Amino acid sequence: MIIESIVTGSFMENAWILGDEESKHAIIFDPGDNVSNIIGKMNELNLTPVFILNTHAHPDHLGAAAELQKRFDLPFAIHEDELPTFNSAKDTAQFLGLLNFQLPELTTFLSDGQVLEINNIHLQVLHTPGHTPGSICFLTGKHLFAGDTLFQGSVGRTDLPGGSMKQLGNSLKRLSRLPEDTRVYPGHGEVTSIKKEIETNPYIKEVL
């Protein structure tokens, strides 16, 4: 398994690449910006993208998706509850000063508990609302792509439209039940683990 990140855009968002060493196929999570950097990393790793999966639809996680989709003819998926956030992403991008923002074509809705088998890559979808109504995490083995649900020492904000601190608390409880050695790949910041966040993250401590 190959896991690499590209830090993109002015919001320093982590776009994650999950690649299969045998097939050389890869999934791109949350391609927020800097298409050329993402493609460069794919070429460096000798990987071919086959799917774009988004943990949520804020524009800082979405800005490169349309161009990548066009270049590689990729399907694009979000959780079904994330559609309102997706539909308002252009207006949000304009408010944030993100120019030339384009939406990808939405090809697939995801649901909680769904298991995706994309070539040799197996992923479970975990619905973790709070940052947005349709926020999701993707779990493969003991690797969790967490989007803006969980950061090292913090969590995603809940004061934007659709955010809910109560829902986020329930989502954090759910994630805290994962094996403690599960590695967490967040939407911003450094890689962490469930064990470290249980021990040190004040937001998880508050709900446990």
Domain range summary for the chain, segments of one domain joined by +:
2-207
The backbone torsions φ and ψ at residue 51, rounded to the nearest 5 degrees and listed phi first, read -160, 145
Provide the whole-model pTM.
0.97
Q: CA–CA separation, 160 vs 183, rounded Å?
A: 27
- Predicted confidence (pLDDT) per residue in 23-77, tens digit: 999 999 999 999 999 999 999 999 999 999 999 999 999 999 999 999 999 999 9
- Predicted confidence (pLDDT) per residue in 150-179, tens digit: 999 999 999 999 999 999 999 999 999 999
Task: Report the range of poorest mean pLDDT among 68-82, 94-108, 144-158.
Answer: 94-108
pLDDT band at 97; cut points 50, 70, 90: confident
Contact by Cβ (8 Å): 152, 66: no
Pairing of β 143-147 and β 183-186: parallel
pLDDT band at 96; cut points 50, 70, 90: confident
Which of 3.20.20.70, 3.60.15.10, 3.50.50.60, 3.10.20.30 would CATH assign to domain 2-207? 3.60.15.10
Contact by Cβ (8 Å): 206, 169: yes
